[in-house]
């Protein structure tokens, strides 16, 4: 039986067949959690070119606009942070942006092709593999970032525990993810666009995120709904997916009027209220004993 990563209990109820919900704290996750190896196998190059993203690198300017906004959020809250490690760095676009703005940045991703691009084309410091076993020294980075990544992880609890151990006192954790407690997610229910296991496995709300991070030694400094820069094409696709009504009709009509190439070049900021940015700071240590993860990791190789 799987323990809830937010409250530690093991009392789950089914939700729309594909998810389940903790009866104690309300946290939601995919009903079926893949093994880390199976989850890693999802993130091939095809994931970024056709499966989840249309063409990740063709939309480069869209991603860079979003990463620039996240970098501004980080600097506004923590202007002394100049060493950053990104988990789930994909093709390295955030690392490139942070490096260009004076940070010593590095990252990791499970997708070998993406990491190869980040290293050879963008000259970034990247490694391919599992963050839990990657060689990072304690205190090496002042901040860890997970942009639209935590929802993909089979064990976010282990990842956040390791981040907490690696960070210096008052170090930072920045992330973005969907907010299943937002008005739009509640309205859409099963049809909320973020619900798609087996890529999205963890469904946090602001409340469960606050409780989850507190459990792992972090205090939230800021949590807010963010505007996301999206291509006109992706916005229209979302609206036509509503299937009926005036919005669907209008979006379909606009889609037909604009050439496909034009849709991909145009973009806009959209705040649908269901994507949250969270900035959290490592709390002062309350005890001198090993963390749960440290106790678990005292295996034969350590």
**Binding stretches for Zn ion (CB under 5 A):** 4, 6-7, 22, 24-25, 27
CB of 30 to Zn ion, least distance (A): 15
- If the CB atoms of residues 125 and 292 are measured against Zn ion, the closer one turns out to be 292
With vertex at residue 116, the alpha carbon angle to CA 110 and CA 120, rounded to the nearest 5 degrees, is: 150
Report the relative pairing of strands 19-22 and 12-15 from DSSP bridges. Answer: antiparallel
Q: How far is the CB of 3 from Zn ion (least distance, A)?
A: 8
Nearer to Zn ion, 157 or 274 (CB): 157
Ramachandran bin of 147, using left for φ above 0, alpha for ψ from -120 to 50, beta for the remaining angles = beta
In the complex, least distance from residue 159 CB atom to Zn ion, rounded to whole angstroms: 18
Taking the complex as a whole, the smallest distance from the CB of residue 252 to Zn ion amounts, in Å, to: 41
Q: How far is the CB of 96 from Zn ion (least distance, A)?
A: 38
Which of 114, 141, 140, 142 has its CA nearest to residue 128? 114
Tell me if residue 222 falls in helix, strand or coil. Answer: strand
Question: Of the two residues 1 and 260, which places its CB atom closer to Zn ion in the complex?
Answer: 1
Q: What is the 3-state secondary structure (H, E, C) of 14-54?
A: EECCCEEEECCCCCEEECCCCCHHHHHHHCCHHHHHHHCCC
Query: Helix axis angle, 60-77 relative to 93-100, nearest 10°?
Result: 50
For residue 132, how many other CB atoms are within 10 A of its CB?
Answer: 14
In the complex with Zn ion, the residue whose CB is nearer, 62 or 213, is 213
Write the CB contacts of 267 (distance below 8 Å, at least 6 apart in sequence): 61, 62, 65, 229, 230, 231, 232
Query: Minimal distance in Å, beta carbon 25 to Zn ion?
Result: 3
| 27 vs 147, beta carbon nearer Zn ion | 27
By C-beta, is 20 or 228 nearer to Zn ion?
20
């Amino acid at each position: 039986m799987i323990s809830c990563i937010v409250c530690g209990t093991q009392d789950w109820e089914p939700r729309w067949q594909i998810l389940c919900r903790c009866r104690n704290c309300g946290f939601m996750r995919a009903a079926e959690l893949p093994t880390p190896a199976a989850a890693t196998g999802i993130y091939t190059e095809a994931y970024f070119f056709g499966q989840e993203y249309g063409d990740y690198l063709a939309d480069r300017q869209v991603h860079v606009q979003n990463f620039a906004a996240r970098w501004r959020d980080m600097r506004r809250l923590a202007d002394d942070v100049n060493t950053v490690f990104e988990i789930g760095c994909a093709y390295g676009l955030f690392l490139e942006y942070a490096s260009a703005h004076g940070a010593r940045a590095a990252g990791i991703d499970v997708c070998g092709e993406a990491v190869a691009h980040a290293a050879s084309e963008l000259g970034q410091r990247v490694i391919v593999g599992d963050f839990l076993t990657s060689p990072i020294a304690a205190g090496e980075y002042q901040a860890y970032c997970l942009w639209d990544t935590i929802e993909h992880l089979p064990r976010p609890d282990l990842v956040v525990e390791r981040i907490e151990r690696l960070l210096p006192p008052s170090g930072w954790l920045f992330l973005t993810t969907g907010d299943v407690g937002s008005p739009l997610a509640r309205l859409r229910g099963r049809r909320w666009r973020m619900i798609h296991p087996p890529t999205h496995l963890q469904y946090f709300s602001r409340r469960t995120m606050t409780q989850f991070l507190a459990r792992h030694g972090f205090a939230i400094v800021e949590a807010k709904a963010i505007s996301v820069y999206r291509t006109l094409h992706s916005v229209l696709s979302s609206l036509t997916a509503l299937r009926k009504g005036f919005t669907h009709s209008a979006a379909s009509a606009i889609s037909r009027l604009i050439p496909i190439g034009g849709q991909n070049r145009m973009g806009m900021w959209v705040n649908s209220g269901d994507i949250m940015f969270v900035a959290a700071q490592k709390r002062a240590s309350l005890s001198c004993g090993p963390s749960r993860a440290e106790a678990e990791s005292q295996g034969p190789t350590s």
